[in-house]
Structure 1
């Protein structure tokens, strides 16, 4: 192994175009000694001639110079000294043995290659001139008769030296240019790699500074990136006996329940299955254990060709929000519980007053409106209390009765009319009488009242609120439209969220708590119906209630 390494190191110096003079000279001397041994075997007297000894002496001096001269400190031109001396030694040997073995002149190509490799074109010129002066000229001087053939034969060596030198210098120049280009390209790539590494580190530092957990997966679901917050969240979901679980092994429950979330419904798995979602809540333990709750959102990643290339999932700790929400619901439930008793008393005394046969009809009508609104308020209070108990959206007990949606809309308009008049808002009605159907009058009236209340509240003085009822496609519907401030699409998207107030409402300091529309929607869902909204900023809104029709009779006309 050591011998092979030594030989490899020696040959690398021989072919090195920038140095290695001693190794190159030793390489040449070995060839020369090989020829000398062959010549000595044929006849020792040929080696002992004065000319041969002169050639050997030149090689000895050249070899000594190759080893002792400080080549790195000398000018590049000095590199030609040793190979030129080698050509001189070959010229002497050729004069002695040219007639016996002309091939000995081939040794001259070793220093020619040396010069061309070291000095390129300059070395080629020096090698050609040395071959001309040391080989061709002495050869011509020994020719008995100077002929064209003799001249051609004498010039063949410098011409060959010129061709070989040019080929080598040209090839080396091309190789060096390619090497320089490769080095430049490598330097550019190194700069790009350093920049990419710097950007990657910057990105990692940025996402590690976020409190939200971020995980990026490729198209196959393998983790590509996970910030420090997500690593902590992953540990929260990990079972105690498993330090590195996969998605299906995580401890993950639906919030507020003891039901584990199936593997295919878990956030990262849903993202891998090409789903995009927002605010998907998961808990790290069953209800009652105080386990933290997280909200997950996922977006798909597209490559430069617009093809899906993975997904990013963001986890936010919403434990505090859930605890505040529970505290808020408890507070509402406590207040609702306390309000039921006085409301029941108010309704009872209203009934007593209306039982008086001497009560004027006008006063009786006003008291009936007051009683109806008090009963709606009692229904609202009961709903809030029941919502806290069940904690299930839409879990309402309905008191179904045969009623007309158009008549309930008329009652709701009658209740809101004084408030609209005081605010300078005109109410227009277009109430087509609707068929009787099974519904909970109190809850539907409350839903209509919330829509009318909002319409009046968000419509400036001089505006108009329009109420319509109709029957179509096996359903009855009521719409409430206004010419108020309107809402953006983003505001509409969150409109039926508990306690949500639009930025526009907050900006205009409009009072409210963000629960009226939520209750209206729950009432409609409980009836198997739906509520929809269309709105445009600055142009008003239109809400439509739609209930499936359970016909008892055909609509005879209109409600005035």
Structure 2
């Protein structure tokens, strides 16, 4: 038991960042001796050469110094002597075995990490310089000719040592900060446990969310951690003439536009305010050098379930966005070719409707066909105007219309499609008062809701379209008995290109466009749209208009919520 305790204490001194010079050196010397024994089994002639014996002599010298001198009583910078001698020993062995075992260079990581842990940044720079001179230098000098590949090969080891050293220093600095906070709370056991649990939860959240750029904010909204990629992204969004910009000064725009996103709707501010979201795309940087970034945020909770901060992840999706825009250009070209025949179809439909000898049934079919052809032409014209999902409708042509009539027309249009899918389409449409509406746009919004309801409801299910008029409001509801969705999925439902995991797993076709466009149309009319859903039992989408004019501001303010 005593031997195990002694071994544990010795290992603790080996990994200690601030002491244990003798233990660290014995650990390294043991590694070198083990390597020497392995080499001597097959290539004894290498071990008895002058360079190898010199390397063992240097190793012996550094080990004696580590065991004899009381390094903890000397000034900190003297701690570099022993690991520097170890690097010399590794360099001698590596140069001797340059043609057979270049991996010996990896042993230099041990004393390099030792110096980084003990001396922090000065140790990183000293070890990097030593490896560059002692290992990289001979590689370059022995090269038959020097080109970029030779330099890249030679500089790989010192560059890697530098990066790992900086990571070690950064990790130790974070650890030091945590230790200081824990030390201050040591007097209170409960406070210590709370801090430890919060730190564990923070670390878990960061590991689970790592992608590219990572920003962690505390419960007050202050930056707690920002990785190197996020520093680069932050620099891209910072104005050239501002050293430490505030959130409102950062160059953050809506995708593909020059319109600046208000501070309250920017990713970090939304996360600070407690929102959880995914795939929120923004453009960063000046117009000529912008990058498209997809952002996601997750809230951090302590073990009491209370809010402790947030993790925001930034992913560069510039290439993907450019691909999407190329597809949009392709769609616009196809739409241009569709517009002419569609116009001709509508013209001939109008001529056919003028025939006085048509039966009522045929006239009804022609009416539905004509209305849907006009709706299709409207969509084609939207694509040609490069509106689509990114900017919504251009202008509303407001005229007095009844939402109940629009709902009935949508139900009529989808009746055959629902019947073919084995779905019962029901209506409960109460006459609504006239409102200033763009009938084509509102028809498009209601059609999108009905299309989704039919698409996500299995055969044998029900879809119901209903309108309701209250004393101060009117509502249109589309209710289905389909697959439904989780609360988290409902949070992101009106985000462009977002599709629920249930929809993807069910292999149901779609692009995540319709609901985002529907929402913009409703909000542009001064209304509100909401969803209530339970996974496996169906969804209810509600379009709400206030009859006292109170919805306009609310609907607009919540457009990006």
Partner of 2:252: helix, strand, or coil? coil
Q: Is the 8 A contact 2:215 2:313 kept in 1?
A: yes
Q: Is the 8 A contact 1:466 1:481 kept in 2?
A: yes
- Residue 263 of structure 1: how far off its partner (Å): 8.1
Q: In the alignment, which residue of structure 2 is the partner of 1:13?
A: none
Q: Could you tell me how far apart the structure 2 residues matched to 1:527 and 1:266 are?
A: 24
- Residue 367 of structure 1: how far off its partner (Å): 0.9
Q: In the alignment, which residue of structure 2 is the partner of 1:505?
A: 503
Correspondence list, 1:184-199, <5 A: none
- Residue 342 of structure 1: how far off its partner (Å): 1.6
- Residue 536 of structure 1: how far off its partner (Å): 1.4
Correspondence list, 1:327-346, <5 A: 327-346=326-345
Partner of 1:484: helix, strand, or coil? coil
Q: Could you tell me how far apart the structure 2 residues matched to 1:455 and 1:264 are?
A: 33
Q: In the alignment, which residue of structure 2 is the partner of 1:414?
A: 412
- Residue 525 of structure 1: how far off its partner (Å): 1.4
Worse-superposed segment, 223-232 or 410-419:
223-232
Correspondence list, 1:26-105, <5 A: none
Q: Is the 8 A contact 1:408 1:444 kept in 2?
A: yes
Q: In the alignment, which residue of structure 2 is the partner of 1:536?
A: 534
Q: Could you tell me how far apart the structure 2 residues matched to 1:336 and 1:548 are?
A: 36
- Residue 282 of structure 1: how far off its partner (Å): 4.8
Q: Is the 8 A contact 1:394 1:525 kept in 2?
A: no
In structure 2, do the counterparts of structure 1 residues 539 and 372 end up closer, same or farther at CA, with 3 Å as the change threshold?
Answer: same
In structure 2, do the counterparts of structure 1 residues 400 and 226 end up closer, same or farther at CA, with 3 Å as the change threshold?
Answer: closer
Q: In the alignment, which residue of structure 1 is the partner of 2:227?
A: 227
Q: In the alignment, which residue of structure 1 is the partner of 2:374?
A: 375
Aligned length: 348
In structure 2, do the counterparts of structure 1 residues 260 and 506 end up closer, same or farther at CA, with 3 Å as the change threshold?
Answer: closer
Partner of 2:468: helix, strand, or coil? strand
- Residue 381 of structure 1: how far off its partner (Å): 2.2
Q: Could you tell me how far apart the structure 1 residues matched to 2:357 and 2:329 are?
A: 45
Worse-superposed segment, 504-513 or 292-301:
292-301
Q: Is the 8 A contact 1:434 1:470 kept in 2?
A: yes
In structure 2, do the counterparts of structure 1 residues 483 and 304 end up closer, same or farther at CA, with 3 Å as the change threshold?
Answer: closer
Correspondence list, 1:405-484, <5 A: 405-484=403-482
Q: In the alignment, which residue of structure 1 is the partner of 2:285?
A: 285
Q: Is the 8 A contact 1:214 1:312 kept in 2?
A: yes
Provide the aligned C-alpha RMSD in A.
4.0
Q: In the alignment, which residue of structure 1 is the partner of 2:172?
A: none
Q: Is the 8 A contact 1:258 1:286 kept in 2?
A: no
In structure 2, do the counterparts of structure 1 residues 425 and 214 end up closer, same or farther at CA, with 3 Å as the change threshold?
Answer: closer
- Residue 482 of structure 1: how far off its partner (Å): 1.7
Q: Could you tell me how far apart the structure 2 residues matched to 1:409 and 1:428 are?
A: 12
Matched, 1:362 2:369: no
- Residue 351 of structure 1: how far off its partner (Å): 0.8
Q: Could you tell me how far apart the structure 2 residues matched to 1:482 and 1:285 are?
A: 44
Q: Could you tell me how far apart the structure 1 residues matched to 2:426 and 2:247 are?
A: 58
Q: Is the 8 A contact 2:437 2:525 kept in 1?
A: yes
In structure 2, do the counterparts of structure 1 residues 473 and 295 end up closer, same or farther at CA, with 3 Å as the change threshold?
Answer: farther
Q: In the alignment, which residue of structure 1 is the partner of 2:325?
A: 326
Q: In the alignment, which residue of structure 1 is the partner of 2:52?
A: none
- Per-residue CA distance 1:69-102 (angstroms, 9 max, x = gap): xxxxxxxxxxxxxxxxxxxxxxxxxxxxxxxxxx
- Per-residue CA distance 1:29-79 (angstroms, 9 max, x = gap): xxxxxxxxxxxxxxxxxxxxxxxxxxxxxxxxxxxxxxxxxxxxxxxxxxx
In structure 2, do the counterparts of structure 1 residues 438 and 330 end up closer, same or farther at CA, with 3 Å as the change threshold?
Answer: same
Matched, 1:252 2:247: no
- Residue 320 of structure 1: how far off its partner (Å): 2.4
Q: Could you tell me how far apart the structure 2 residues matched to 1:333 and 1:385 are?
A: 5
Q: Can you give the 5+ residue segments of structure 2 that lack an aligned partner in the other structure?
A: 1-195, 550-561
Q: Is the 8 A contact 2:239 2:251 kept in 1?
A: no
Q: Is the 8 A contact 1:428 1:466 kept in 2?
A: yes
Q: Is the 8 A contact 1:425 1:456 kept in 2?
A: yes
Q: Could you tell me how far apart the structure 2 residues matched to 1:248 and 1:221 are?
A: 12
- Per-residue CA distance 1:219-246 (angstroms, 9 max, x = gap): 788765443323433444456678x745
- Residue 423 of structure 1: how far off its partner (Å): 1.9
Correspondence list, 1:290-301, <5 A: 290-297=289-296
Q: Could you tell me how far apart the structure 2 residues matched to 1:264 and 1:537 are?
A: 31
Worse-superposed segment, 209-218 or 447-456:
209-218
In structure 2, do the counterparts of structure 1 residues 354 and 534 end up closer, same or farther at CA, with 3 Å as the change threshold?
Answer: same
- Residue 321 of structure 1: how far off its partner (Å): 3.3
Q: In the alignment, which residue of structure 2 is the partner of 1:92?
A: none
Partner of 1:498: helix, strand, or coil? coil
Partner of 1:375: helix, strand, or coil? helix
> Rg bigger for which structure?
1
Q: Could you tell me how far apart the structure 1 residues matched to 2:285 and 2:268 are?
A: 18
Q: Could you tell me how far apart the structure 2 residues matched to 1:220 and 1:431 are?
A: 49
Q: Could you tell me how far apart the structure 2 residues matched to 1:277 and 1:257 are?
A: 25
- Residue 528 of structure 1: how far off its partner (Å): 0.9
TM-score, structure 1 normalization: 0.53
Q: In the alignment, which residue of structure 1 is the partner of 2:177?
A: none
Q: Could you tell me how far apart the structure 2 residues matched to 1:363 and 1:346 are?
A: 17
- Per-residue CA distance 1:368-397 (angstroms, 9 max, x = gap): 1110111111122223334x2597634442
- Per-residue CA distance 1:290-340 (angstroms, 9 max, x = gap): 422334455666778888776644332232233233333333333333322
Q: Can you give the 5+ residue segments of structure 1 that lack an aligned partner in the other structure?
A: 1-195, 552-560
Q: Could you tell me how far apart the structure 1 residues matched to 2:304 and 2:458 are?
A: 50
In structure 2, do the counterparts of structure 1 residues 465 and 298 end up closer, same or farther at CA, with 3 Å as the change threshold?
Answer: closer
In structure 2, do the counterparts of structure 1 residues 223 and 339 end up closer, same or farther at CA, with 3 Å as the change threshold?
Answer: same
Q: Could you tell me how far apart the structure 1 residues matched to 2:538 and 2:290 are?
A: 44
Q: Is the 8 A contact 1:437 1:550 kept in 2?
A: no
Q: Could you tell me how far apart the structure 1 residues matched to 2:265 and 2:406 are?
A: 42
